């Protein structure tokens, strides 16, 4: 076997072994075809938590046009882990500031944000985890919103 064949074989085995790891990430989004989110629309997401020893971070994910009228978004978030009581909270998420403009990443006139919703990593029991999100802004329906959703990932130690 020549040097190139050995190198190719080692690279192939490395990629194969790396692909066998589980991804500790859950993300679900809702798309708004008319680019508006009504306050009556409550988006519900459900994840299955496999590792109860890990701690998790929960992110709010949003994609919007540059024409979005506000620097923030107010949300009503209801979450429930398997066997736990319902947790309800109102969250104000900053999307822009006067110094830097939009805080997310953008291309052309579309901006993506992934904003951490919890202050400390969460310990979630094994099983089903449900999250419901509703926008509670004054503008109804909220214009220039393309997608919103939730991302849950294992916190790094």
Is this structure's pTM higher than 0.85?
no
Q: Report yes or no: 137 and 93 within 8 Å, Cβ to Cβ.
A: no
Domain that holds residue 42: 25-154
Q: Which residue has the higher pLDDT, 38 or 3?
A: 38
Does 10 map to a domain? no
Q: How far apart are CA 121 and CA 79, in angstroms?
A: 15
CATH number for the domain including 56? 2.60.120
Q: How far apart are CA 48 and CA 82, in angstroms?
A: 9
Does 18 map to a domain? no
Task: Report which of 143, 141, 148 is spatially closest to residue 30, judged by C-alpha positions.
Answer: 148
pLDDT in tens, 31-45: 999 999 999 999 999
Does 14 map to a domain? no
What is the tally of structural domains in the chain? 1
Q: How far apart are CA 140 and CA 40, in angstroms?
A: 9
Q: Which helix (H) or strand (E) holds 10?
A: helix 3-19
Q: Is the pLDDT of residue 61 over 90?
A: yes
- Map residue 135 onto helix, strand or coil: strand
pLDDT in tens, 120-135: 898 888 889 899 999 9
What mean pLDDT comes out for the span 132-141? 95
């Amino acid at each position: 076997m020549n040097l190139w064949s050995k190198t190719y074989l080692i690279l192939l085995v490395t990629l194969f072994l790396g692909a066998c790891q589980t991804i500790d990430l859950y993300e679900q989004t809702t798309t708004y075809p008319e680019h508006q989110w009504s306050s009556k629309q409550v988006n519900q997401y459900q994840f299955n938590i496999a590792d109860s020893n890990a701690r998790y971070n929960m992110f709010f994910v949003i994609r919007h046009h540059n024409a979005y009228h506000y620097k923030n978004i107010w949300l009503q978030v209801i979450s429930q882990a398997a066997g736990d009581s319902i947790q309800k909270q109102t969250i104000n998420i900053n999307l822009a500031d006067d110094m830097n403009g939009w805080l997310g990443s953008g291309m052309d006139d579309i901006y993506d944000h992934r904003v951490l919703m919890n202050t400390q990593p969460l310990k979630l029991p094994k099983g089903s985890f449900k999250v419901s999100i509703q926008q509670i802004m004054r503008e109804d329906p909220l214009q220039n919103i393309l997608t919103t959703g939730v991302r849950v990932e294992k916190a790094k130690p």
